[in-house]
Amino acid sequence: MKTINIAFAGAFMLTVAACSTNPFTGKKQVNLVPNSQLFPTAFTQYDQFLKENKVVTGTKEAALVTSVGQKIKAAAEKYLASVGQSEYLNGYEWEYKLVQSDELNAWCMPGGKIVVYTGILPTTKDEAGLATVMGHEVAHALLNHGGQRMTADMAQQLGAAALAAGTQGKSSTTQQILQTAYGVGSQYGALLPFSRSHESEADKVGLTLMAIAGYNPDKALDFWQRMSAKAGGASVPELLSTHPSDATRIANIKREIPAAKATAAKLGAKF
């Protein structure tokens, strides 16, 4: 019993040590996988993905992905500077790639590695639509949703007693959990089953990022309405899905737009 108590005490101390406040939400987060471990793994998987897939270069669409990505990056930097948290982006190595695929998808790995699939471009339709998507995906990374999922997965798989030992160094167990939990294995982060609360957080912060970048967040409604029409009403019921229903997402975005505009206005954004 004493050994178990010591193990739980150690796990508790590790949890406290890994607790931090996210500058975008003001919420406390527990992340047991530090960026010093997370980023190199994500960067390696990103490079591998690019080798195995067709990266589109030299087109106006590819140039637009880079341009919008740079604006979203600058928006994140401007926001963090305004709250005195510029160091939050330490270790980020931003990269923006357009990849040939029919999938209606885009993703941002930890550390700022972004992929947009050509299949989503007809639905993004214009620059503001693309900014909606890229702002949302970058928000997942900035909110450290991948790290939170890993933390939950580690707690479940390793157990409290083994958690402290399992997160030290780069053991094969930790690496497997890291890849599986964030989806940087065979999925490469493309189909992350974030929780509904994570999706709503990413929508909210994504709106703020696109507004600071100079895009009217009202345009986000146009994009999500097009996505809803694309689904043709065949989406999974919200209760059974990790994503909000289209109606819920659109209603939430409508509610958050004024706050996004207000934050952007304070930072001098015009759209």
In a domain, 220, yes or no: yes
- The answer to whether position 2 is within a domain reads no
Q: For residue 204, what are the domain limits? A: 35-145+188-266
Answer yes or no: is 207 within a domain.
yes
* 131-149 pLDDT per residue, tens: 999 999 999 999 987 766 7
**Residue 182: pLDDT band with limits 50, 70, 90:** very low
CA atoms of 24 and 142, how far apart (whole Å): 8
What is the pairing mode between strands 95-99 and 113-117?
A: parallel
- Catalytic residue check, 52: no
Query: What is the reported pTM?
Result: 0.78
Q: Is the pLDDT of residue 166 over 90?
A: no
Q: Which are the contacts of 40, defined by CB distance < 8 A and separation ≥ 6?
A: none
- Kindly report, residue by residue over 42-91, the tens digit of the pLDDT: 899 999 999 999 999 999 999 999 999 999 999 999 999 999 999 999 99
Q: Is residue 9 part of a domain?
A: no
Per annotation, catalytic residue among 52, 87, 95, 137: 137
Compare 164 and 142 and report the one with higher pLDDT. 142
- Per-residue pLDDT for 233 more than 60? no
Q: Is residue 17 part of a domain?
A: no
Number of domains in the chain: 1
Question: How many Å apart are CA 144 and CA 156, to the nearest integer?
Answer: 19
Q: What is the pLDDT of residues 7-34, one digit of tens each?
A: 444 444 444 445 778 888 887 876 767 8
